[in-house]
Amino acid sequence: MSARRPTPLLALFLRDMQLAWAGGGGPLLAGAFYLGVAALVPLSAGPSPERLAAMAPGLAWLVLAVASLLSLERLFEPDWEDGALDLLAQGRAPLAAVAAVKAAAHWCATGAPLALLAPAAAVALGAPVRIAGPMLAAALLGGLAFAYLGAIGAALSLGARRGGLLIAVLVLPLLVPPVIFGAAAVEAAALGGPWLPSLALLAAYALLAVAAAPFAAGAGLRNALG
Amino acid sequence: MLTVLANPARFMAVSRPLVPVLGAATALLLAVGTWLSFTAPPDYQQGNSVRMMFVHVPAAYMGLFAYACMGGASFAGLVWRHALADAAAKAAAPLGAGFTFLALVTGSLWGKPMWGAWWVWDARLTSVLVLFLLYLGYLALHAAVEDETRAARAAAVLALAGLINLPVVKFSVDWWNTLHQPASLLRADGPSVAPEILAPLLVMSLAYTCLFGVLWLVRTRAEVWRRRAHSVRRAPAMRATLTPEAA
């Protein structure tokens, strides 16, 4: 064998990235949803610039959390349906590592593009331009937490009836800390205050999610395979 | 102790006489607590509304206590695969959700005359609401998965994830609240509660704990019975599929 073959987990990561971008550009769909909901905000809250500017950072952040929930349903389900998950379970890598890699690929494919949109949406709603940097950082870190916490919900609701809505109900209470920390960072940046402490807390929470959530998600996958 | 009770037959034998005893204790404590609640002097600030606390505080405490029980049973069910632990966790969830809901409703009823609002986005209210949502997620997941053992295991993983997340939620919500406004609304006056108020509060807390205990036992026993009835009902069909020529 001449060319070095990638390790199984790396191959899984690359495969998931390719699948995410193949056929219809899945990440773009989440981005379109994000922009669509952001466009509804001025329509429902009124076009008054002062009012919008006051709400813009928080709303851009909230819509980001909701948009990242939507794509979770297809995180494990296709692999579970076509039997790829059974093959992955028979591999040497534990299912927790499989869950971690798939969540990481999900974040790269969906979370990161959404994070790029977040500052644009916030500024379009009337937030000051100086929040763009903190907003991007918060959206990247928050998206990481959303992806890994979401993986728990996606794995646990495999094979359940009403999958999509169920994932949202399972995951939303878990999202309280990252939403609070991220919104605080963005809010502080909008007011010109110190936003790094909140961002550090958000980063801590995201790292905790990355470290702990794969075990719960892996247990959920094992359980779904039975 | 726990391993002895893990045998369902032994659990059923031990819990059978326990139910009427605990039930009688609950009735007695509730009666005494209610009497104390109504005879306690009105608070110098809250007036008669303080009596709401005798229903509200124990309910909030039981909401948390039930989640801890559910988490413990889920852990036992996941690690040692005791079917009884699964039954106990499943039995505790609706009770905890009920107590949490009661705490939210009574708190809202108390808040209207005291704060002038049915609901305030205070840290403690928000974290209790999140606790209620965690219960709802648990119940929804349990109901949505068809297979019994599979539902129990998935729900147990969720319960443990929620258990780990709950202190972080509490911290973050406290932090969020103090960031926006000083914590001034919900002060429990620390230990400086007058003894006339403290007595009914303690008796009612004890009564609620016993109430939860007896309901939990009854529900767990009912769950064991339900599973037995299920397997008895399924037995002829199983026999028929195993030996088709006998049919």
Spatial CA neighbour of A35 closest among A152, A101, A117: A117
Facing residue for B154 by CB, picked from A172, A201, A220: A220
Facing residue for A160 by CB, picked from B141, B162, B164: B141
- C-alpha span between A76 and A81 (Å, rounded): 9
- What is the pLDDT confidence band of residue A3, given thresholds at 50, 70 and 90? low
Which tens digit of pLDDT belongs to each residue from B173-212?
777 776 544 434 345 544 456 777 788 888 999 999 999 9
Residue A5 pLDDT > 90: no
Mean pLDDT for chain A overall:
87
B169/A162 Cβ within 8 A: no
Residue A103 pLDDT > 90: yes
A152/B157 Cβ within 8 A: yes
Residue B91 pLDDT > 90: yes
Which tens digit of pLDDT belongs to each residue from B39-87?
887 777 777 777 888 888 899 889 999 999 999 999 999 988 888 899 9
Residue B150: its chain A contacts at CB < 8 A?
Answer: 159, 223-224, 226
- What is the reported pLDDT for B24? 94
Compute the average pLDDT of residues B229-233.
86
Facing residue for A223 by CB, picked from B154, B162, B165: B154
Which tens digit of pLDDT belongs to each residue from A8-20?
889 899 888 888 8
Residue B122: its chain A contacts at CB < 8 A?
Answer: none
Which tens digit of pLDDT belongs to each residue from B1-48?
556 667 788 888 888 899 999 999 999 999 999 898 888 877 777 777
B150/A224 Cβ within 8 A: yes
Q: What are phi and psi of B47, to 5 degrees?
A: 65, -140
- Contact yes or no for B168/B176 (Cβ under 8 A): no
Which tens digit of pLDDT belongs to each residue from A109-119?
888 889 999 99
Compute the average pLDDT of residues B160-184.
73
- What is the reported pLDDT for A67? 86
Which chain B residue has its CA at the smallest distance from A219's CA?
A: B157
- What is the reported pLDDT for B179? 53
Residue A220: its chain B contacts at CB < 8 A?
Answer: 154, 157
- Contact yes or no for A135/A122 (Cβ under 8 A): yes
Going by the DSSP 8-state scheme, the letter that residue B188 receives in this structure is: -
* Chain A interface mutation, best of B81, B138, B146, B165, highest count of A Cβ atoms under 10 Å: B165
